[in-house]
Amino acid sequence: MLTGESTRYTHAVIVLDRVRIIEPWPSGVRISHRDDYAGEYVAYGWPGTLSGAQGDAIASAALSLDGTRYGMADYLALMLVRMGARSVRARRRVSSTGRLLPAQFVVEAYRRAGVDLLEGRSQYEATLDDLGNLFLSDSWELRVPAVRFT
């Protein structure tokens, strides 16, 4: 993958309710219908210890990121940082919460709601594999590794 990670995952979203998701997109964060992914292989989950209030706080935090976008320059900057480049511009770009790739978006929304998904690591270190590994851990409730949302 362009950012230097090898993963089978391609996207990350936050489930708002039974019908809607909020997802990062190059043009900005958007609310979408879960049926937009009908026919896709989709899995979603959350920490098993998450309270209803925390879930609401995560949804609010994700909605507060409205307008946050990302683009090719963000992927390139992240790749440079992961390769160990000493570029101050690249580090500044990937550490900003003004531009978030999908995994970073999810981690930042949880962080703003007071839930630390990466145990002290910054949001720019988040990868889709990190999220996938969380979903597959015993502490998360995996909802559906299937073709359709249920």
- Note the pLDDT tens digit of each residue in 41-87: 666 777 778 888 998 999 999 999 988 878 788 778 878 877 888 88
Q: Is residue 30 part of a domain?
A: yes
Q: Is residue 102 part of a domain?
A: yes
Q: Which domain holds residue 46?
A: 14-142
Q: Is residue 150 part of a domain?
A: no
Q: Is residue 1 part of a domain?
A: no
Q: Is residue 33 part of a domain?
A: yes
- Inform me whether the pLDDT recorded for 150 exceeds 50: no
Q: Is residue 63 part of a domain?
A: yes
Q: Is the dihedral of CA 7, 11, 16, 18 positive or negative?
A: negative
Q: Is residue 148 part of a domain?
A: no
Q: In angstroms, rounded to a whole number, what is the distance separating the alpha carbons of residues 7 and 147?
A: 19
Q: What is the pTM of this model?
A: 0.79
Total domains, the chain:
1
Q: Where are the alpha helices (DSSP H) in 42-86?
A: 52-64, 72-82
Q: Is residue 2 part of a domain?
A: no
